[in-house]
Chains A and B, each alone.
Chain A
Amino acid sequence: MKKNYFVFPETEHYREYLGFRHLRGQNTLVSLAIFLMMALTIIYMVLSDYLIMPIIGFSVGYLVILIINFATVAYSQENYYYLKLGKYITSIALFTMMIVTIIYFKSPSFIPLLFVAYAICSIYKDTKVLLWITLYFIFAIIMLILNFGYLFDFQNVLEIKDLAIGFFVVLFILILLLSSLIIVKEKTFFYNNISYAKEKEFRNLNLLMEFETKNEASIIHQKDYYQEAKNLLSAFAEDVNIKDTFSEKLDLLMKIANNVDKKILLKEHPDFSNDDLEKLEELLLDKNSKLRRIILKLKHTQIKKYKTREIFSATHFQSFNKQSDSIEVKILCFVVYYVALKKGLPGMKPLSNQELYDGLLNTDLHHFIDPKIIKIYRENFDVFNTIADEMKLGGEEA
């Protein structure tokens, strides 16, 4: 199996979608903060009687950042990736603007604006943005110390000035980076789990449909439903005095369900094209149709009501590496999990040694097992195989 980061490779798409879904809101906050910075800079320059040209210069600088920001949001309607591009450009441009401000005013009082810029950019909650701006931050500080050393010639001179600058700035950047990184990871935790749960839902529904189809007692009687729907909807069309467009489509569905050849259908129903028939197929109450999946979801949605006030409950987090569990419980969980998968549950295919190895070690699943246990498994793969291979397999009948 190809080395995958996610248990279900499809989760990557939904994670990305979640990221984009929230990026617009984050982008609005960043734009507002930049606008606030622009307003304050202009107010300060006007009150301090600066010439009109520098005021226009700074205004244009901020406006260019805002325009780029708005443009990427507008283009993101066409392609989401413009939003991604927008956050990188905005972050770098904002930092550049701050450095220009410090150099222009030649005052250390503007240096804390670099911290403000960092806080603004961290609204994006993006690891790449954080790493870029951290590097830029370090570059900016080194550049200021080397080329604009006079910015640090305070009236109250400390004997160990250079050491103090180096230490506290590095410390501040480190704590800022680590705290922002963990906050980003908190968001990723939810993105991971939601996208995982979404994909699991999709696959659970598929498995349910498969099981229901295996169980003859629950096989649906398709013909009856199409006929019943036809009766109901032609009565409706008659009631409200509209053209009955339903009956022919339901007749067609009935024929498609009975595997009537498409060529015959097209001949018998000349108003319908091949595309129309393909679209109609989506409405089949077939064992694997999308309509069937919608019905299954609808059916289960109403069974249990979720508690809206359930907050960050640990019970929702499934793992064999819970801090509250002893190492003995963790070992037991892993072993039972491994042996059950190897043996296979009724109706389920027992998994091969290689499939188990790939699933446990080459996906993010290994994060949910104690590292000591997973290390033993990795290093003693052959021992595990030898012990487990002696067991008679269960699962699906051959």
Chain B
Amino acid sequence: MIKFLKKILHSEFLPVSEVRKLKVHVVMTFLFIITLVTIPFSFFLEYTLTIKIASIVVFALFYLLCFLLVKFNKIFTAIQVSIIYSILLMLFYTRGISSFYAYIFFYITLTVIIFYQEIYSYFIYGSLTLAYGIYYTVSFGSGLILANDIAGSVYIYIAGLAIYYLVSFIQILNNEKLYADLNLEWVKINNLNSNYQDELLYHLEDMRNMMKKSPIYEDLEFQKTAFELSEFIAEQILKDGKQIVNLIDLYIYIHEKGLENVLKNGEISIAMKKNANILSRYLLNENSDMFSMIISFYLNFHETEKFKKTRYDYNISSLSDLSDEQIIAFTLIYLYLQDELLEDSGWHSMNYKEINLEELFERIDLTEFFSVSIIDFYQSNIELFRKTNKRKG
């Protein structure tokens, strides 16, 4: 239980797919509690004993189905089943008694559906729940009002439910847009970071060659230490550490031969090839997750400037607010980049000889780097800049 709560509290460190799974677990826990409580509560509901028993059996089957779907990682189906399960519970309570407590089930069901933050699911199941809620309140509202209640209290119940539905719907739409925007921003910066790391990897390889050192994965001491530590950990978690030794052998073999050659090798079993594919994300000689995380760790111990508000501002207007100085900055950038295109330095990830600076400028959103007036200046004087092009002919 504590582990489960800890997982919820730290769910910001889980990827979306795992959070979705966690949500199903949370809903299942609640449905389990409600189902358990339903057994004693059903004595107060206006059903025959057969229907009560049949309903409890159906709930138990739904719970089992949900459990199996989660176990086999069919999360989307599990979400749908858990929603239907909560709707069935709502129907069971609301058809069994006309009461304020049954009315709360409309909110519980809507909350379960909102929780998954799926627009279509909310639109379909949420609207059905709302429609049934309105019907229920109009038809069986007598159990919801006091003997001397205010005028139109039934309509206030309806309005409350409708506003709850509407506010939640707006929230889902807002979240959908927010997450899509944030995701795009994240993907954009990640791709840029991946480009920088391509370059960093190139420099590191360059340095290693200059230092006449062998790659880290070929270093026998590195291998020995990795073997010893893996065995040490594996012995405490697994029954034996043999499998981990084979996996490290495979890991080093992929570095030496390359993933493609490993996959093509007929002597290697399918299971090993499957592992090779997984391990390819963590190679040391490629711009992999492993390399990226090593760089991140290292960067943490790298001295950096004190934080300023303009730290992540890459527009030249952050350098100077004077237009002539911005023009100077633009010109220096232009001339420098033009030279970079002629040289081998940098641009390791692209066929730089095929592209000129004008084409490159057309490909990107210049407003991220220059003010509109500077872009206008460039476009109006493009001929002047062309004259500086050293790759004529």
A178 within 8 A of B: yes
Q: What is the minimal beta-carbon distance from B73 to any residue of chain A, in angstroms? A: 9
B-contact 0/1 string along A177-218, CB 8 Å cutoff = 011011101111111111001101111111110011011011
Please state if A172 and B108 are interface contacts (CB–CB under 8 Å): yes
A226 surroundings in chain B (CB, below 8 A): 332
Is B311 a contact of A10 with CB atoms below 8 Å? Answer: yes
> What is the minimal beta-carbon distance from A363 to any residue of chain B, in angstroms?
7
Alpha-carbon distance between A47 and B237 when the two chains are bound, in angstroms: 70
Task: Please tell me if A20 contacts chain B, counting CB pairs below 8 Å.
Answer: no
Which residue on A lies nearest to B238, using beta carbons?
A327
Task: Given A109-B153, A190-B183, A202-B312, decide whether A297 and B230 contact each other with a Cβ distance below 8 A.
Answer: no
- Closest chain A CB from B319 CB (angstroms): 4
B8 beta carbon closer than 8 Å to chain A: yes
* Contact for A318 among B34, B184, B247, B293, CB less than 8 A: B293
* A294 close to chain B: CB less than 8 A: yes
- In the complex, what distance in Å separates the CA atom of A319 from the CA atom of B381? 48
Residues on B with beta carbons closer than 8 Å to the beta carbon of A81: none
Query: Which of B151, B298, B327 is close to A348, meaning CB atoms less than 8 Å apart?
Result: B298
Q: Give the number of chain A interface residues (Cβ < 8 Å).
A: 180
State which of A61-69, A131-139, A385-393 sits at the interface with chain B.
Answer: A385-393
* Chain A residues with CB below 8 A from B180, complex form: 311
Number of A-B contacts (CB under 8 A): 495
> Given the complex of chains A and B, what is the CA–CA distance between A40 and B362 in angstroms?
53
Complex Cα gap A123–B194 (Å): 34
Chain B contact patch, size range? 35 or more
Q: Contact between A337 and B16 (Cβ–Cβ < 8 Å)?
A: no
Task: List chain A residues, Cβ under 8 A from B307.
Answer: 10, 13
B304, A10: Cβ atoms under 8 Å? Answer: yes
State A231–B321 Cα separation when bound (angstroms). Answer: 23
- Asked whether, in the complex, the Cβ of B204 is within 8 Å of the Cβ of A298, the reply is no
Asked if A338 is at the interface (CB within 8 A of a chain B CB), the reply is yes
Q: Closest approach, in angstroms, between the C-beta of B93 and any C-beta of chain A?
A: 9
Beyond A120-B167, A172-B108, whether A190 also contacts B97 by CB under 8 A is: no
**List of 8 A-B pairs having minimum Cβ-Cβ separation, nearest first:** A156-B143, A112-B160, A367-B13, A218-B345, A179-B115, A190-B182, A188-B12, A109-B153
Q: List 13 A-B contacts (CB under 8 A).
A: A10-B307, A155-B143, A174-B30, A175-B30, A179-B112, A201-B193, A295-B333, A295-B336, A308-B184, A327-B238, A331-B230, A340-B216, A376-B236
Known contacts A156-B142, A188-B12; 9 additional CB pairs below 8 A are A7-B297, A150-B146, A172-B108, A185-B19, A192-B13, A193-B186, A282-B319, A328-B243, A347-B203
